[in-house]
Chains A and B, each alone.
Chain A
Amino acid sequence: MQNCIETNGLTKKFGKKTALKDFDLTVELGGIHAIVGSNGAGKSTLFRLLLGVTTPTSGSAMLLGNDCQSLTPDVRGRVGYVNEEHTLPAWMTAGSVKKFQQSFYPQWNENIYKSVVGYFDVDPKQKVSGLSRGERAGLNLAMALAQSPNLLILDEPTLGLDVVARQSFLEAVMFTETEGNTTIIYCSHQMEEIERVADKLIIMEKGVLQNNSSPDAFVSRISYWIADFGGKMPAREKIPGFLSARDIDGIHHVMVADQDKSFGSVLTQLGATAVTPNTVNLERAVNAFLTKNHNTPGSINAGSQG
């Protein structure tokens, strides 16, 4: 079966800086795939590569089975892209922007447009520059969905939206049924949104793919242990799957990846007494992953850390 997105060894360097490194990502058709990663993790670079506006240093990227370096107008017509600014011709009225956009997409679905834009209070006579952030996001999403794309990339679409607009936006994304049976790539920093919308969770960190599975499967990869090393923790290199550790009141709280129940005995062998396993939620699991290689001060043996 054809994959929605497929990258092989995708690498992008800007001078000496590597934005994306040997990136092998496969996104199957259907469902909502959330992408998380801290700022600078390479998400924007990935999207730019996928849309063909940047050339990879090496490797390849495919969108709906087409090489991203030579996307035809036809393929572009089947891929929607919504960025965090909701870039639209600000000088036009909402109504004329809609007509403008509609002219490019023969498969335009007016019912979808109406039902989505109905979530938001968009006056067609209003200039786009005069719309609120939420209205603008709504208009943009309505048009993106009405294009009935096979793939819709949403890049932090709810950034700066208030609670009501955010709620409407999520509902529209999740419950609008398009003819294209749209696969959605949803990039966000909001763990709450991710938890609600994601079928698959893709985690990027420093240009490297860290995870591509269901959120539940991801959370189950992470375990959280509270161990008493008597004040001095062993070097992190000795702890398998180490993600992060914190020293709270002399007791160490250790987060590890891909370890089963026998990890308790590993800790005991390393000199810990009173080892207790604990559960962890999605947000903490993701954070642990995203910060694992960051040399945050006090990640080890710091008395208190927020």
Chain B
Amino acid sequence: MSKTGTVNIQIVTGDARPIFKQIVDGIRMQIAHGDLQTGDKLPSVRGLAMQLTINANTVAKAYAELTAQGLAEARQGLGLFVAEPRQLLSEEEKNKRLNTAIETFVNDVVYLQIPEEDIKARLSEALTKIGRLKNTPKQDS
């Protein structure tokens, strides 16, 4: 029996990101941090819409995006569940996203004047940590 995961995200209106994007990002972050785990049931579209006071169609759109990215999978008649981590994105898309992420990251850290070695070390430490979390999923309760 899978538990219904608690989606703990905040919607900000007036943000440059559309609301559905904010939901996608938020849930992806929660999955990355392990707050949501593989097999957890995501709230119903209506439930999350009510929680966030937004149009249900927006939630549906976000869920569709999560499904497209392979982060969630629909089970017939049961709802949407956090999926086994797998990659649905093409190599090209992956490269593109990586480039964007690196660009942003570099932009943010370049003025900090921290030695390059330290940055690399910290980066690799963070990647290891996330990798460990993802590779040792908790048991379903």
Contacts and interface: CB of A to CB of B under 8 A. Distances in A.
B10 interface: no
Contacts of B11: 196
B55 A174 contact: yes
A279 interface: yes
Interface residues of A, number: 22
Contacts of B16: 279-281
Interface string B11-27: 10111101110000000
B13 A199 contact: no
B62 to A, nearest CB: 11
B100 interface: no
Given A175-B46, A175-B49, A216-B20, A197 B54 contact: yes
A31 B57 contact: yes
B56 interface: yes
B55 A199 contact: yes
Which of A32, A171, A282: most chain B Cβ within 10 A?
A282
Given A175-B49, A175-B50, A196 B55 contact: yes
Given A215-B18, A219-B18, A32 B55 contact: yes
A174 B49 contact: yes
Which of A32, A171, A195: most chain B Cβ within 10 A?
A195
B53 interface: yes
B53 A174 contact: yes
A97 interface: no
B20 A170 contact: no
A279 B55 CA distance: 23
Contacts of B46: 175
A196 B13 contact: yes
Contact of A191 (B13, B18, B54, B57): B13
B54 to A, nearest CB: 5
Contact of A192 (B13, B18, B49): B13
Contacts of A215: 18
A58 interface: no
B15 A281 contact: yes
Contact of B53 (A171, A216, A281): A171
Nearest to B56: A174
A32 B54 CA distance: 11
B48 to A, nearest CB: 12
A167 B51 CA distance: 12
B50 A283 contact: no
A304 B20 CA distance: 34
Contacts of A10: none
Contacts of A197: 54-55
Contacts of A170: 53
Interface in A198-239: 198-199, 215-216, 219
A282 B54 contact: no
Contacts of B54: 174, 196-197
Nearest to A198: B55
Nearest to B55: A197
A282 B49 contact: no
A282 B18 CA distance: 8
B49 to A, nearest CB: 7
A225 to B, nearest CB: 14
Interface in B28-51: 46, 49-50
A20 B77 CA distance: 48
Interface in A151-194: 167, 170-171, 174-175, 191-192
Contacts of A198: 55
Given A32-B55, A196-B54, A199-B57, 20 more contacts: A31-B57, A167-B53, A171-B50, A171-B53, A174-B49, A174-B50, A174-B53, A174-B56, A175-B46, A191-B13, A192-B14, A195-B13, A196-B53, A196-B55, A196-B58, A197-B54, A219-B18, A279-B16, A280-B16, A283-B14
